[in-house]
Amino acid sequence: MPPMLLNILGVLGIPVMIWAVWSTTRLARVNRRGTAGIDVAAYGLLPRAELDPARGGPPAPEVAEAVRAAREGDWRPGAALLAAAGQDWDLRWDRLSALASVASRDERWLSAWRAERPKDPDAAAVYAQALLHRAWDARGDGWAKDVSAEQVAGFSQLLPTSLYAAQEAAALAPHDPSPWVTMVTAARGLVLPHEEFRQLWSELTARAPHHFFGHLNALQYWCAKWCGSDRLAHRFAREAAASAPAHTLLSVLPLEASFEQALQGPGPVPLAGRNPKSEINAVLNAVAAAPADDPRLPLVRHALAASLVLAGRGREALEQFRLLEPWVGAQPWTCHADPVAAFDRARAIAVLRSGKWSATAATAARGA
């Protein structure tokens, strides 16, 4: 290489090296300190102390009221809530799951409902899902290696009961996909063979071809940590997203599959998985088209925000963080020991990569 060209490359290389060191140092700082030292209000963000890990999104008032009534022993508001959902199957599932979560801890109100209306398919569906919640509570949220033999025994005992209860609920309402979502989820815990799972899945999709929550649970079945592999999970996610209507929130499935694959890797829990620009853009388009009160929307925004951060698209990630706050109780943050800290680190990286490093933040960073 000619000496003059070497000299030019040397001159150009010094600024690049300085920038790389400076950028790496800033990234290490925000990974360690999150938004400490950053004027978060300048970016439209909330102080870390105001972030709430209890939920992934704001509670719908009508759901909150039915849950409150159930805890006080009154089943009628919950029954009316499910009836009002009609055949909006995803809305119905969101409401049904909330009621089942209450019943899994105290089912006296549900027992009263079932006693007064023994053939009510809604009560039967809530009961089946409540048993499933109880099974998963018995197992715990830990990795398989961290689950005790006693936890596994409780899990294994409750899962078949939930499956049978879901079959009874399905018989009472042959058109309703909800009991089949419960069965598909139980199938994962029971590690049913692929052919048996596909039979359950075909029943669910015959009733609701693009059931969002059903697809999320089916994706878990196909993940390597349960009954499938990375290849099968990615194939399921991409085929489901491609076959769904335009601007569907099911476009988040490839992002979820990539995150699940990244979770199996060595080292600390990842922020997200890596996806092509086209897959991330598809989710951006879907959230832009979704109604603001869609109960699925916060779950999708959390995955999208993390993927945008990892892709270096800080400004777009900040927009998602603003729309999500103060709610941080969802994946990927809940896969970390401290969801608030994980969320805060991610938004600090988004600030860094947004190209809007404020004067206040820069001054604080220099003094660190």
Domain ranges of the chain: 34-56+246-368, 61-228
Residue 163's CB is within 10 A of a number of other CB atoms, namely 23
The dihedrals phi and psi of 52, each to the nearest 5 degrees, come to: -120, 115
Q: What is the pLDDT of residue 157?
A: 82
Q: Show the tokens assigned to 132.
A: 């499933």
Other Cβ atoms closer than 10 A to 310: 21
Alpha carbon distances (Å) from 267 to 29, 263, 343:
19, 9, 18
Burial of 277 (0-12, 13-18, 19+ CB in 10 A): exposed
Question: How is residue 297 annotated by DSSP?
Answer: H
Considering the entire predicted model, what is its pTM?
A: 0.87
What is the mean pLDDT, run by run of 10 residues, along the chain of 368 residues?
A: 58 44 47 83 97 96 98 98 98 98 96 97 98 84 64 78 97 98 96 98 98 98 96 98 95 98 91 96 98 96 98 97 98 96 97 69 42
CA 243 and chain centroid, separation: 21
Identity at 27, one-letter amino acid code: L
Residue 211's closest CA among 158, 253, 266, 152?
253
What CATH number matches the domain at 61-228, 3.90.25, 1.25.40, 3.40.390, 1.20.140?
1.25.40
